[in-house]
Amino acid sequence: MMDRDQMRAFIAQRVAKELNDGDVVNLGIGLPTLVPNYLPEDVKVTLQSENGIIGVGTVTDENRDARHVVDAGGRPSEVAPGGSFIDSATSFGLIRGGHVDATILGGLEVDAEGSLANWIIPGKMMPGMGGAMDLLIGAKHVIVAMEHTAKGRPKILKKCRLPYTAINCVTKIITEMCVLDVRPEGLVMIEYNPEFSIEEIQAATEAELIISPELKPMC
C-alpha cells in the first residue's frame, strides 16, 4: 500500500505523461504543482499563472520580490527566461480564448458527465472559484488529478451534488487507482493500478465505469 505522499507522487508522475512538448499549462494548487518534477527532459512546457505570468520561473533568495511577483496562490514567484507579465483581462482572454493547452486541478467531486465541483460547500465553506471556472471552460485539456476517494467516500459520482464549477468540461481523471477518459458514453477506464482489482476500483467509484477493451496497467 502506498502512503499519501507516495500516492500523490504516483498520480503526478502519471499526469506528467499527458503533457506535450511546447504545451501551455496551468497548474492548480497542491498535487498538480508536483507534475513538472516528472516531465521527461525532452518535454518543455510553459507554465502559466492566471494572475499574470506566462512562463513561471523559479524563486531564489536573490530574485525574490514578493511585492511585485506572486503566483496564483499569492506566493512569491518569478518569471522564467523568455516569459512575460500580463494584466488580468489579457490573461483571462488567453484562457477563455483557447490558448492554454492543459489545466490540471483537483476536485471535491467529479461526475460521469465530466462536470466538476471544487469551489463551494454551501453553508460551510465558500473560498470562491477564483479563476477555475474560466480555466475549465477555456483550456483544451482538463485533467482532474486527485485521490480517488475522500477517506473512503467516493468522489467520482454519477452526478455532482455540490454546486458545479463547470459542466461537461473534464477530459481526463487521474487517481491512484486508475485513469479515466471522459467520453460521451461515460467514464472509460483506460488504465488501472494493478495494486487494486477492477472490482475494488468500481466499489470506490459511484459512477459506473466502462472498461476499455485496451485496458492496461498504469505506469
Partner 1 sequence: MSKFVSIEEAVKLIPDGASIMVGGFMGCGNAHAFIDALSKSGVKDLTLICNDASMPNGPDGGDFYGVAKLVHNKQIKTLIATHVGLNPEVAQQSMIEKTLEVFLIPQGSFAEMIRAHGAGLGGVLTPTGVGTIIEDSPYCLGKQNIEGRDYLLMKPIKADFAIIAGAKIDKAGNVWYKGDSSNFNIVMATAAETVIAEAEEIVEIGEIAPEDVRTSAILVDYVVEGGKYL
Interface ranges with partner 1 (CB under 8 A): 49-53, 65-70, 73-77, 79, 85-89, 91-93, 95-96, 115, 120, 123, 125-134, 137-138, 163-168
50 in catalytic set: yes
168 neighbors 139 (Cβ within 8 angstroms) = no
Q: Please, what is the minimum distance in Å from the beta carbon of residue 48 to partner 1?
A: 11
Q: Which is nearer to partner 1, 102 or 201 (CB)?
A: 102
Distances (CA, A) of 142 to 18, 22, 214: 10, 17, 22
Q: Please, what is the minimum distance in Å from the beta carbon of residue 217 to partner 1?
A: 35
207 neighbors 157 (Cβ within 8 angstroms) = yes
Q: Could you say which of 50, 109, 113, 176 is catalytic?
A: 50
DSSP, residue by residue, 154-196: E-EESS-SSPPSBSS---EEE-SSEEEEEETTEEEEEEE-TTS
Q: Which is nearer to partner 1, 166 or 177 (CB)?
A: 166
Q: Which is nearer to partner 1, 36 or 76 (CB)?
A: 76
**Measured distance CA(73)–CA(50) in Å, rounded:** 10
Residue partners of 134: CB distance under 8 A and separation at least 6: 50, 92, 95, 96
Q: Please, what is the minimum distance in Å from the beta carbon of residue 50 to partner 1?
A: 7
Q: Which is nearer to partner 1, 52 or 107 (CB)?
A: 52
Q: Please, what is the minimum distance in Å from the beta carbon of residue 77 to partner 1?
A: 8
Residues marked as catalytic: 50
